[in-house]
Structure formats: structure tokens, C-alpha cells
Structure 1
């Protein structure tokens, strides 16, 4: 059941309505915020859905842009003067049901006076408004959400529940699908490593992570005992470090090169 109904005129400020609905949905939960094009399911009868949602909501946000009051019907009449205009009908229904009606002025839209409105909507001019300016969208949206949380206690509780769920980690939905063999699904994955190899695919060859002693990556035995003063290889050869000097041994012959850049 929605708590907030977002009322707007599509030929005026549908973008502003989307911004408001998404922010309030993020804070209070999507099911608590009604916006017609998002909330009415395919094939449902929109007149009944709209009126039912308005009557069940505690708040109606009237999104008002610069063209809101001057919109015209197909016959050329001012839309606000038409009793069948849905923007008008939703606001009238909200007043009749006792909902909190909050005008939100978008951009340079000015506050409406009673003389700008038909008698059925005159009360809208008396409602304290908020403003949404794209140059300060984050701050304006946060203020609207804060005001609603303060005015409607169950919205504040819904926000706390969402915060508690996020802190607890919530549930993990199964996204794996059908697989052959073994699979592991987890919420969080952390891999700590040195060497900067990152995330890779395919065969990366040999990767040594945090080695703390002699390492052999080829075939055959290796004896690397510096305390007894010797290195022994069986096989074609190899590279190793011995007391700051890079050593190479091939076919029984050893070559030395000072490692100045260690």
C-alpha cells in the first residue's frame, strides 16, 4: 500500500516527478511511493488504480513546473478548469481524503495564488511548498524526504527498517541458475594479495603470493641452503638470488650479476 502519491502533469514536469519518486523510493521503499507509469501494472484499469492509490496515501506530492497551470485540453481549454483532468482530480481526491498535500515547485516555477486556480483547487495555494532546483537537486530532495519522515511517523519507521536491513546484510537472492559441477554464491567477496595481478581470466601461468623461502617453479629438485654455502640444481638450470647477487646456473656453469636495483 503506498504512503506517498506523486502527482504530476506529463506535459509539464515528468522528469522532476521521476527524480522525486526515485529518491523517496530509495529512502522509504518503492512499494510506499506511487507514480502512475511505474506503479500501475500492465492491463490494469488506470482510473480505478489512480483513485484507489490516492485514497490510501497519506501524502500527495503535487509536482508543479512552469507549464503546469497553463496546460490545455484537446479543445483548447485550460486543463485545470476541466473536472475530468486527472492532475486536478487526484489533488481534489487527496484533499477530500485528508491527505497531506505538498506542492513541489520545479526550477523557476512560481508559487500559485488562489486567483490562479479553480475553486476546487484553491486550497492548494495555501499549502506550504518545497522547491526542487536541478542546481541543488541533492539538497532539495533530501529536504523533501526529511520533511516527510518528520510529518508521517510510519515513513520514518520504514526508513529505519531499511537502514537496519542494510546494516544486517539482508538476504541473498539466487542469481546462479542451473549449473553443471560445483558453484559457490556469496554476498561479499574479498581477495587480498600482493603482486598486483588483479582479476584475470584464462591461464596466468605461475603466480607466487607472499613467498617466505626458496621457491622452485620448474621441474626437478632444488637445494638452496645458503647457510652451508651452496646451491644445487638438477635440470637445465634456473635463476635465484644469493646474498644480493643474481645467480644463473645452466648446464653446471654459474654466472653472476650484481643486483643493483633490489
Structure 2
């Protein structure tokens, strides 16, 4: 019996060429006698490379039975709706809305037949929903009205999730900057569409900018002084106090056209003593 050179586990060299715990190579007596100290140190770092499991080949052209049955039922329903609508009014009118809803359902069920990454399906379903709401709005109102806000919200949610979970966008500051810019563009588009209401430009944009700046400051302090917990707590409490004061001033300016404090001083009464205690 021998011992692993790395983790010290007793290993039967007759059965195991590599350590079952850390996968480090187990040298025989002959190898130890013939190798130099440098070669032994190099061999100590050698690990067993486990072969990657080969995924089972799946034919994407053969849909599952459930999806095939659902597709046949959907096609039957679409044909029935078209026939009933045409027989009643000799034209195609009300049946278009349930038809595009059925098509939407079929497209959203594509993960049953296509083997791709989850992000691909999320992106595909996002743009399918956008097209669906545009068509629905045009069929109901004959122009784009309410679907504009729904589309913007769906796109903003897609950007948020893509920024957070997509590995190609790395770094907290870069992700936060991307999210802030996207939110700002979203707010600007909403503001342009609501010309008679300036609540977005007077409230959301300043608050959004304040949150972005304070988040960057908090992140930089935490990254720099991660080993000093009292500095981290103080940074969070100070930035929270500034955020509360800013929100209080902006809301009162919008409502009363005056910069006054109504509730944020209660937050300061709690947070300021806590901040001072961190330095003693």
C-alpha cells in the first residue's frame, strides 16, 4: 500500500493508478527509483483527466408524441375557426385573434422538439411575444397603442436577465452600467410617448441616476475594503441615508415644488448613530 503524494490517502497501487480522492498519479517503486526529485515533483501535479461524457444523439427532426398531438389539435382548431368565421360572415375577422394565440402557444412549446440552450429559448420566446402583442394591438385598435408599453417592458426584462446571466458581459460595474443605460432609454421612450405627464423625467430619471452612482460607490468601497467590515457597514448606511434624502427631496419637489424633507430624517436618526458606532 502506498500513500498519495498530495493528499496523503492510503491507496492500493495494484488497483488504482491514480488517487481516488484527488486524482493524483501514484508512482510505483521502480518509477520512484528511476525518477529524479524534479521529475517526482512534476509527477505529483499530474492528475487524471476524466473523459467527457458523450451526449446521446437526439434527432431534432422527430418531434415527441405530445408535441405532435398538440400540433395536430392546433391545426384542426385553426382550420375550424377559419371555416366558421368565413361561413358566418363570408370574411375572416374575429377568428384571427384566437388563431394567432394558438400559433403563439405552438411556438412557445418549441423546447419540446429543439435541443438548444435555455438562453436561446428565452430570447426566441421574448421576440415571439413582442410580435404577438403587435399583431394583437393592430387587430384590435388598427394601430399600435398599448402594445408599445408592453413591448418596452418585455425588452427591458430581456435586457436585465441577459445582462445578469450572460457570461459574455463580465464585471459588476459593466453590468450595472448596461442596466442603467437600458433603464434610462426605457424611461425616455415612455416619457416621449406620455407628453402630458412628466413624472418619469422628473422622478424616475433622477432616482435612477442616484441609485446608479451610489451603487458604484458602494461596490468600489466593498471591493477595496472587503477585509474591514465596519467600513463596509458604514458605506452602506451612509449611501442608504443619501438615497433616502434624495428620494424624499425629489418626491416633495415634484408634489409641492419645494425641496423639503418629510420622512427621510427618521431614517437618518437610526442610521447616523449606527455609522458613528462603526468607528469606535
Length-normalised TM-score, structure 1: 0.19
More helix per residue: 2
Q: Which has the larger radius of gyration?
A: 1
Considering Cα pairs closer than 8 Å and 6+ residues apart, tell me whether 1 or 2 has the greater RCO.
Answer: 1
Length-normalised TM-score, structure 2: 0.19
